[in-house]
Amino acid sequence: MPGTGLQAHTERDFLPPWLWLVAAPLVLPALYLVRYLDLDFYLNWMEGERGIIENLAPLILLPAIFCGIALWRRRRVFPSLWIAGWFVLHGLGAFYFAGEEISWGQHFFSWLTPETIGALNDQNETNLHNMSSWLDQK
């Protein structure tokens, strides 16, 4: 579309525009609708440590982790090494965020929290973000 700043959709596009322009903004209202229509279903399947919402965050972060690795491996194509380092930093941040969200696998593999960590952790989980308000709330 000339002059609008929007390009026409081509088959090479990874995501069609309707997906990120229309579908993505509808996710939050859809969650509220499900909660309103069936609270028990919402609480059992959407919320909680094994719920869809809790586990979508690490799943969404996986591509960022892989992109950080891939971009570091191709660091020679960047005009400066610090640019590749910046992408690696983002990938490491995504890795940390994903690991913390799943308590580094504790909820999947059902291990007990070591006593030394449990004494410091608000929710008795194997993660850092529940040990301090600086890591959890700020």
Residue range 45-90, pLDDT digits in tens = 888 777 888 888 899 999 999 999 999 999 999 999 999 999 999 9
pLDDT tens-digit series, residues 25-35: 888 899 999 99
- For residue 24, the number of C-alpha atoms closer than 13 Å in the C-beta half-sphere is 7
Residue 108 reports pLDDT greater than 70: yes
Task: Read off the tokens for 116.
Answer: 């030394």
Task: Give yes or no for a contact between 109 and 86, defined as CB atoms under 8 angstroms apart.
Answer: no
Q: What is the pTM assigned to this prediction?
A: 0.70
Could you tell me how many residues make up the chain? 138
State the Cα–Cα distance between residues 136 and 138, nearest whole angstrom.
Answer: 6
The DSSP secondary structure of 24-50, one letter per residue, reads: GGGHHHHHHHHHHH-HHHIIIIISSTT
Catalogue the E-assigned strands of 48-97. Answer: none
Q: What's 127's DSSP letter?
A: -
